[in-house]
Every structure is written in C-alpha cells, then in structure tokens.
Amino acid sequence: MGDKKVFSTRIDEKLIKELKHLAIDVDRSLGSLLEEAIKDLLEKYRRRAPGK
C-alpha cells in the first residue's frame, strides 16, 4: 500500500480499551486492526458513492 505515516487522533477511551483487548485476542497490533477498519470503512462508502 505504501509508506507508513504516523497518524494521531483522539478516540473514546472505552473503544481503545476494547481494541487493545481484541488485538491481544487475535494476536495482531493495534495499527493493523485500525488499518483493516479504515479499509473496510472506505470500501463501504465507495460502494455507496453515486456512479460507482
């Protein structure tokens, strides 16, 4: 996909806690889970876009 960049944002504390637990459960990094979620979200909205 390309070079990795640092991306900083604020996320609800409860969501971060749940994400950390999920990362441990599935033996993946927080970053990889966030990338997967962002890709899924982008795909969801691409399918909704008019003319696509």
pTM of the model: 0.81
Euclidean distance between CA atoms 19 and 14, whole angstroms: 9
pLDDT at position 37, please? 96
Confirm if 29 and 23 have CB atoms less than 8 A apart. Answer: yes
13 neighbors 3 (Cβ within 8 angstroms): no
* Structure tokens that stand for 14 in this block: 């409860």
pLDDT 10s digits, 2-52: 899 998 999 999 999 999 999 999 999 999 999 999 999 999 999 887 765
Q: What share of the chain is helix, strand, coil (3-state, %, to 5)?
A: 65, 0, 35
